[in-house]
Amino acid sequence: MSSGSFRSSSPALIAGVGVLLLVAAITHHITELFVLDTAVGPIAALVLDVPAAVGLTYAGYWLSRTTLDQRERWTVCVWCFAGVILFVAVIGATLGIQFIEGRTVSEPGFSLLIAAEAGGVAGFLGGYYNARARASARRATTARNALGFVNELIRHDLRNDLNVIHGHADLLADADRNTNEPGDPAIVREKSMEALTRIETSRAIASTLLHDPELDPVDVVPIVREITTQFDDAFQATVTVDLPESAVVSANAGIRSVLDNLVENAIEHNDSAEPRVEVTVHNEPETVTITVADNGPGIDSVGQEQLLNADAATGGGGLSLAATLVENFGGELDVTESPLGGTAVEVTLPTAE
């Protein structure tokens, strides 16, 4: 079992511990009924044991219904197990000391069961509130990054588009007086459409990062073709593509920003004599893989970690933001060594149903 699938079973593990403790408690106290002359003690002990064990079992089921992600649920599971181990160790040490001192150790099984159940419940509660606090902190950081990115997009890209539109609009208005520099309606139309696209992309990014996004089937092939053509024309770099006829993923308009960011980074940070970027798209049975590879200087593992955790709010988190968007689309983003000798960024997205 992989670590990912093991972690995904966190709620089942917690529920399993609860069931084991419940079975152990019932077995132990029923056995006591046949050993002791009275049934009052075993029944009272069973009444104390059962609610905690049942509560821990239900806690595992309840955890699977919460909005915590896989990593946060695993945190709760670790805390729960740690609570069981800690409480049992403390009570076990106490009983051990009593045994070493020659004192009578009365019914150690019951004490250890109570300790395990109390420790499990305490650990679960502590882990849950810890995971929820960390999740809230991550959401706050994500919101800040989203707003920072949208602000950068509006200030830089959208402003450039509007400046071009404004300039050509002035030329069109002065066409009768300034026939040497006529405005171009095609450019006005093109830049206005680009501006509208950027606004829609910004809205989709904010929606994706701040809450559950609305995902639709999106064909990434025409988006990749359009983006690579624009960069191929604008930069002194060779951009090649290997594309199928179509590759439909589950995403939204924010996927354009992801692809735009990856291709732009591959070109802008490429200091080789003859910069090259290759963009490939491959269809798999359940996923689509998009790879952006370059022949630049490459990034070591430390640099990859820094890029993936950079702060978009300060203008340095383009790759981090792309990774977060891809994750919210249900996919994965990995940074590896490029077959061209530089860096390759691989995005895997689920196909649209």
Q: Confidence band (pLDDT; 50, 70, 90) for 350?
A: very high
Q: List, in sequence order, the alpha helices (H) in the chain.
A: 3-8, 10-35, 40-64, 70-100, 108-153, 159-173, 185-210, 220-234, 254-268, 301-308, 318-328
Q: Is pLDDT of 176 > 70?
A: no
Same domain, 90 and 151: no
**In angstroms, rounded to a whole number, what is the distance separating the alpha carbons of residues 50 and 168?**
78
**In angstroms, rounded to a whole number, what is the distance separating the alpha carbons of residues 278 and 298?**
14
Residues, the chain, total?
Answer: 353
Q: What is the pTM of this model?
A: 0.52
pLDDT: which is higher, 103 or 37: 103
CA proximity to 72, closest of 20, 14, 131: 131
Same domain, 226 and 340: yes
Q: Is pLDDT of 151 > 70?
A: no
Same domain, 57 and 171: no
**In angstroms, rounded to a whole number, what is the distance separating the alpha carbons of residues 177 and 125?**
76
Q: Confidence band (pLDDT; 50, 70, 90) for 5?
A: low
**In angstroms, rounded to a whole number, what is the distance separating the alpha carbons of residues 320 and 68?**
21
Per-residue tokens: 13:
């593990």
pLDDT in tens, 201-237: 666 666 666 666 778 899 999 999 988 888 766 677 7
Same domain, 131 and 34: yes
- Distance between start and end Cα atoms, the chain: 27
Same domain, 36 and 80: yes
Q: Confidence band (pLDDT; 50, 70, 90) for 171?
A: low
What is each CA distance from 93 to 21, 87, 107, in whole angstroms?
20, 10, 15
Least confident of 81-90, 169-178, 261-270: 169-178
Total number of domains in the chain: 3
**In angstroms, rounded to a whole number, what is the distance separating the alpha carbons of residues 89 and 81?**
12
**In angstroms, rounded to a whole number, what is the distance separating the alpha carbons of residues 241 and 301?**
26
Among 93, 121, 141, residue at a domain's last position: 141
**Which residue type sits at 204?**
A
CA proximity to 58, closest of 105, 120, 140: 120
Same domain, 135 and 7: yes
Same domain, 18 and 73: yes
Q: Is pLDDT of 353 > 80?
A: no
Per-residue tokens: 71:
């990593």
3-state DSSP assignment of residue 274: coil
Same domain, 203 and 221: no
Q: Which residues pair with 239 in a beta bridge?
A: 277
The reported pLDDT for the residue numbered 78 is 93
Same domain, 149 and 133: no
Q: Which residues pair with 160 in a beta bridge?
A: none
Same domain, 21 and 85: yes
Among 189, 210, 231, residue at a domain's last position: 210
Q: Is pLDDT of 119 > 90?
A: yes
Q: Confidence band (pLDDT; 50, 70, 90) for 2?
A: very low
Among 141, 161, 187, residue at a domain's last position: 141
Sequence-distant (6+) residues with CB within 8 A of 224 are 241, 243, 259, 279, 281, 290
Q: What is the CB neighbour count within 10 angstroms for residue 341?
A: 14
Domain assignment of residue 147, given as a range: 142-210
The reported pLDDT for the residue numbered 313 is 41
pLDDT: which is higher, 317 or 148: 148
Q: What is the CB neighbour count within 10 angstroms for residue 182?
A: 12
pLDDT in tens, 234-256: 677 788 999 999 999 998 888 88
Burial of residue 169 (CB within 10 Å: 0-12, 13-18, 19+) is: middle
Same domain, 183 and 162: yes
CA proximity to 292, closest of 278, 282, 305, 281: 278
Q: What is the CB neighbour count within 10 angstroms for residue 52?
A: 21
Q: Max CA-CA distance within the chain?
A: 113
Per-residue tokens: 296:
């630049």
Query: How confident is the model over 23-27, as a mean pLDDT?
Result: 90
CA proximity to 124, closest of 25, 26, 49, 57: 57
CA proximity to 322, closest of 294, 283, 349, 340: 349
pLDDT: which is higher, 137 or 1: 137
Q: Confidence band (pLDDT; 50, 70, 90) for 175?
A: low
What is each CA distance from 143 to 138, 290, 296, 306, 318, in whole angstroms?
9, 26, 32, 19, 14
Per-residue tokens: 78:
């670790």
| CATH code for the domain of 242 | 3.30.565.10
Same domain, 122 and 19: yes
